[in-house]
Amino acid sequence: LAMSSSQKLDRVDAAELAVPGRLLDQEVPGSKAFPATGARNVGQTASGFVYIYNFTKTTLILRKDTTVLTANGRQYLFTQDVSNIRPTALLGLTEQEVDPSSLIPPVPVVAAAPGEQYNMQSGARLEITNEVLGAQPEVLYAVVADGIAGGTTKEIKIASQTDLLQALGTVRQETIEGAKQVLFAENPGLKLFGGAMSAEIIEQSTSVQPGAEVSVFEAAVRLRLLALVFNEGEIRSLIQSRIERLLPYNKKLKDPEDSRLQMDLVNVNLTDGQAVILAHYEGEIVYQLDEEEIRDRLKGKNIEEIREILLSRPEVQAAEVRFSPFWVKKAPKFGKNIHLEFSAELPEEPAD
């Protein structure tokens, strides 16, 4: 069943299948404290010296700002520009042993980040990548001189960018949910569909910037909530009254309070406060008996006549007739002395 809803209506319109809507427009603040989950290593940075091997046959200059040394995915940097890197010479023709005198003095390097994982033993190889020369690992590389050492790890808590973004998202959602709870507590029976609400961020902030050394920080928001809500009782009553108008006189809805109602919202226009409600109603339809009519028809009838009258009705499946005292053969002529007892309301039919 489709019905319209508008904030312009002030009462249910059964003829037009329309129910009033209520457009809520309010600003709500929200804030909450969050633990920082980011970490920063503030330990010591490893440093040491390396020999540079240059087999390019060209004297090179490696600038500290354009050169990176790497080993096992870890980066190291020169602490100064390195110039006059002459070609490395070899001794002998078969062993290809490097002539130590052709090497320039060891060059100081420092790890790109703190941590003991940057410590390296003497003789370890590092690849050299330069913005001009690129990477030429076969002809240009470095070897650790007496070791790169001194790297240590010491982690501290920080508020990461992810922490701050997730915190703002959480506060926004919790602020919306909190506003809904207040709305429903103050207005029992209201129905709010998910697609009938919008949340505009007026302002949002965090107490710290990304990377701040804190264990706890606060996120705060101010939202403008726009929502179209309905009175579910009015919708249910409108549907039930429409069904009852279509039923024959001898049928009715059984226990309307136990009926099931599912609703979806389409064509939502929050600007105008209008929408279309698609309702699926499930209830039970049962026969109803007019006791006064039955008593009137049974007056003065014997057992067989009474049973025949009762069983002739489609809503009666079985009938038991008793007279009291036992010598009475016909029903009383006064209806008030005829007592009717219904053990069940059958048959039942589902109503959609």
Amino acid at 102: S
Query: pTM of the entire structure?
Result: 0.59
How confident is the model at residue 9, as a pLDDT? 86
Give the domains, in start order, of the chain with CATH numbers: 2-36+160-283 (no CATH), 43-153 (2.40.30), 289-351 (no CATH)
Amino acid at 189: G
Amino acid at 54: N
How confident is the model at residue 343, as a pLDDT? 66
Which residue bears the tokens 């339809």?
A: 285
φ/ψ of 291, rounded to 5, equals -60, -40
| 137's tokens | 């690992």
Per-residue tens of pLDDT for the chain, all 352 residues = 888 888 888 888 888 888 888 888 889 999 999 999 999 999 999 999 999 999 998 999 999 999 999 999 999 999 999 999 999 998 876 667 899 999 999 999 999 999 999 999 999 999 999 999 999 999 999 999 999 999 999 999 999 999 999 999 999 999 999 998 888 888 787 888 877 888 999 999 999 999 999 999 999 999 999 888 888 888 888 888 888 888 877 777 777 677 787 888 888 888 888 888 888 888 777 777 766 777 777 777 787 887 777 777 767 767 777 777 777 777 776 666 677 666 655 445 444 4
How confident is the model at residue 196, as a pLDDT? 85
Going from the C-alpha of 84 to that of each of 31, 51, 78, 102, 206, the distances in angstroms are 61, 13, 15, 11, 52
b (16+ CB within 10 A) / e for 104-123? eebbebbbbebbeebbbeee
Q: Whose CA is closest to 182, among 43, 317, 26, 54?
A: 26
* DSSP assigned state of 204: E
